[in-house]
Structure 1
Amino acid sequence: MRLRRQPVRPHHETIIALIDVVFFLLVFFMLVGRMDATSPFELSPPISVGGDSLPAGGATVSVSVDGRLALDGVEQTRIDLVETLEAAVRRSDAPLLVRINAHAEAPVRHLLQLVTALEGLAKAEIVLVVTPNAT
């Protein structure tokens, strides 16, 4: 008796597993990759240093949530504040330390307007006072 074997059918390659792997890789690289624009030149972002005490002396500028300014505890307009600091710079031979202490919820535009106005002060060192997060 002669037995007939089933004819050997060619196995169809299943591509479904490969498609799954490709989609997993695509999702992985979309989650891990950076989608923001890169700078056309090299940048070195500043590194935060905490725990250092500020030197004594100088002036302290306070910025409130609504943009009001105070110099050493006395509320002033930005123009008066800059004029007072310019006079202090002219009187002193050493660089003037100006601390900016802004409220955490103050909009950045208030802070930028102040820093822009203070940039013109020659011989002034401007320092932004920050408080570390107490966790």
Structure 2
Amino acid sequence: MRLSRRPSRTPPETIVALIDVVFFLLVFFMLIGRMDATAPFDVIPPTALTGADMPSGGMTVSVSASGTVALDGALVTLSQMDSRLARALADAPQTLIRINANSAVELRHVLPLLRRIEGLGAQEVALVVTPEPHDPTQ
């Protein structure tokens, strides 16, 4: 009587290599991605002679060259901005509010906005600026 051997099974594929690839992709996109909200329009901040690094956290109010306003990356009206900021500041009055205004925007759009934000109870407001490029020859 002849017994036949059971056919040998191939070992199952390991998914360790796939997990490594997914992990590296996750790290890559976390490093190159922006974590803060971007405005739905182009904003080129004004150039400053002095300044400090921008603290993280808080909320960002963006102002386009035409005076259009966005809050944390979403277009809003001034009344919508007021209500959202008022809710955020009621929960945490120390919330940093960044004003990211285009360098071409007229002050008549920025100064009333600053007064509105301060009127809502904001204790810390920062104006986003671009540092002046350093001349290596000097």
Q: Note whether the superposition's TM-score is higher than 0.5.
A: yes
**1:109 alignment partner, SS class:** helix
- For 2:57 and 2:98, locate their aligned partners in 1 and report how far apart those are by CA, in whole Å: 10
1:78-89 correspondence to structure 2 within 5 Å: 78-89=78-89
1:64 aligns with 2:75: no
Tell me which structure has the larger Cα radius of gyration: 1
How far does residue 123 in structure 1 lie from its aligned partner after superposition?
A: 4.5
1:116 aligns with 2:90: no
Q: Kindly indicate whether structure 1 or structure 2 has the higher relative contact order, using CA contacts under 8 Å at least 6 residues apart.
A: 2
Taking structure 1 as reference, are residues 83 and 66 closer, same or farther at Cα in structure 2, changes over 3 Å only?
same
Aligned length: 86
Q: Show structure 1 runs of 5+ residues with no match.
A: 1-47
1:132 aligns with 2:120: no
1:25-44 correspondence to structure 2 within 5 Å: none
Identity %: 41
Q: CA RMSD in A?
A: 1.6
Q: Show structure 2 runs of 5+ residues with no match.
A: 1-48
Which residue identity lines up with residue 74 of structure 1 in the other structure? A
Moved runs in structure 1, 4+ residues, more than 6 A? none
Taking structure 1 as reference, are residues 97 and 90 closer, same or farther at Cα in structure 2, changes over 3 Å only?
same
* TM superposition score normalised by structure 2: 0.57
1:96 aligns with 2:95: yes
**1:54 alignment partner, SS class:** coil
